[in-house]
Amino acid sequence: MIGGGDVSPDTLSEALKWGETVVCADGGADVALRAGLRPAAVIGDLDSISGDARAAFDAVLHPVAEQDSTDFDKALRHVAAPLVIGVGFLGRRFDHSLAALHVLLKYRHRPVILLGEDDVVFVPPPVLVLDTDTGQRVSLLPLMPGRVSTRGLRWDVAGAEMSMAAFIGSSNEATGPQVEVRSDGGLALILPRAALGAAVRAVQAAVPAG
């Protein structure tokens, strides 16, 4: 899924390794047009799409007029997929990045991973086993209060109550080849961009078949 933020060719190529079906959220259509991609759908209120992209993708435009949600939310709401990797939702504008985290929390029961220029961000399932490199950054950001337990981190926690107003787990580190995270709330994991493959495999392994 492509958003309207800045997306480098390398980031777009990395995301496309994990799925060939492209869906654009509003202005993400212009990113797709510049990259020579043909989206299966362009979804949103369509107030950010250029005239060129609108003309090129006229047959796959799906306007959603309401203004109570972001275009990322609108697009995700109308897509059913076993995995969504989003690009163009993290970047220069902090308010847009916060809005993207809000959508991750709202759809935390779906496998959605955001890929930025430097980071991979997602809300893990209740139990996640992640392949890691020793010393790899693993940040735990509680988007809502909840209890968290970990194994394999430099600073492990056991049933810790985490919340934005109290205790968070930024800049933790893996101590070996695997990390286990158990959580009962809306916890976001923030990993280095190079960990995308490990994140995808961990999320897919945690999702029941069918």
What crossing angle do the helices spanning 28-35 and 9-16 adopt, rounded to 10°?
A: 90
Please calculate the CA angle 71-114-161 and round it to the nearest 5 degrees.
105
| Domain 127-189 part of CATH 2.60.120.320 | yes
The pLDDT of residue 210 is 45
Q: Does the structural domain 9-117 have CATH classification 3.40.50.2000?
A: no
Those residues with Cβ within 8 angstroms of residue 68's Cβ, 6 or more apart along the chain or in another chain:
none
CA atoms within 13 A on the CB side of 187: 27
* Cα gap 161→146, rounded to integer Å: 6
Can you tell me which residue has the tokens 């991750």? 104
Domain range list for the chain: 9-117, 127-189
Tokens representing residue 67 in the block: 């203004």
Q: Give this prediction's pTM.
A: 0.94
pLDDT of the chain, 210 residues: tens digit per residue: 999 999 999 999 999 999 889 999 999 999 999 999 999 999 999 999 999 999 999 999 999 988 889 999 999 999 999 999 999 999 878 898 999 999 999 999 999 999 999 999 999 999 999 999 999 999 999 999 999 999 999 999 999 999 999 999 999 999 999 999 999 979 999 999 999 999 999 999 986 644
Predicted pLDDT of residue 100: 95
CB-neighbour burial class of residue 19 (10 A; exposed 0-12, middle 13-18, buried 19+): middle
Q: Do domains 9-117 and 127-189 have the same CATH topology?
A: no
What pLDDT is recorded for position 208? 64
Residue that has been written with the tokens 């779906």 in this structure? 110
CA distances from 126 to 35, 149, 203 (A): 36, 10, 10
